[in-house]
Amino acid sequence: MAATWTDHHSESSPASVGMEITAPQQKLASLTITKGYARDYGGSVSGLRPEETSRFMSWLSKFSGGNKDQAAAKAAPEARRERPSTPPKIVIDHHDYVPEEFVLGSFRIRPYEGDLIAKQKFDFRLQFDIGGDPVDVACLGVVVKLTEEAGLVARYQPPQPFYERKLIDYMKALRGL
């Protein structure tokens, strides 16, 4: 049994170190390391399937996100959700309104034809559909301004965290993020 150690380095090719272990009649193992990647049996890491390359990655690169191609492929189907065209529907006293302006924490409805007055607290529902999943959320709001010109301007408390995340996801999809 014999072992040979080779060190290849030139201006045109990257540095590589190779080791070959042989017995009198057969080659037992061969390992070549080039720029931090291991090439086993003469193949290249880039030519292997992703599940085969992971065995050549160090534990540090695995934990620091060195294998980002697989993670991006898993996240891609989620990003293909259809983009909503309208803000969430607001239901006040069994009347449906599509807000003229809607941001997290406040909205404007114009025209508003209801019985609310300035500084009044009121219950309402936000209704929207995200990814085929209809969501109906109960919220508490306060009238900030109520005039003919401005319409109904209101602030609202954020819903429960589960629904708040769904609302944030909906708003991101609405804006194309």
According to the model, what pLDDT value does residue 98 have?
Answer: 93
According to the model, what pLDDT value does residue 155 have?
Answer: 97
**Spatial distance between the Cα atoms of 124 and 63, rounded to a whole number of angstroms:** 45
According to the model, what pLDDT value does residue 81 have?
Answer: 59
Report the chain (177 residues): mean pLDDT per 10 consecutive residues: 55 54 56 49 50 55 58 51 80 94 94 92 94 91 94 95 93 87
Contact 154, 106 (CB under 8 A): yes
| CATH code that applies to domain 89-175 | 2.40.10
Half-sphere exposure of 3 (CA within 13 A, CB side): 5
Contact 77, 144 (CB under 8 A): no
User: How is 72-128 classified by DSSP, letter by letter?
Assistant: HHHHHHHHTPPPPSSPPEEEETTEEE--SEEETTEEEESS--SS--TT-EEEEEEEE
Q: Where in the chain are all domains bearing CATH 2.40.10?
A: 89-175
According to the model, what pLDDT value does residue 175 have?
Answer: 86
According to the model, what pLDDT value does residue 27 have?
Answer: 54
Question: Is the pTM here over 0.75, yes or no?
Answer: no
According to the model, what pLDDT value does residue 45 have?
Answer: 47
According to the model, what pLDDT value does residue 14 have?
Answer: 52
Residue 160: CB atoms within 10 A of its CB come to 11
According to the model, what pLDDT value does residue 177 have?
Answer: 78
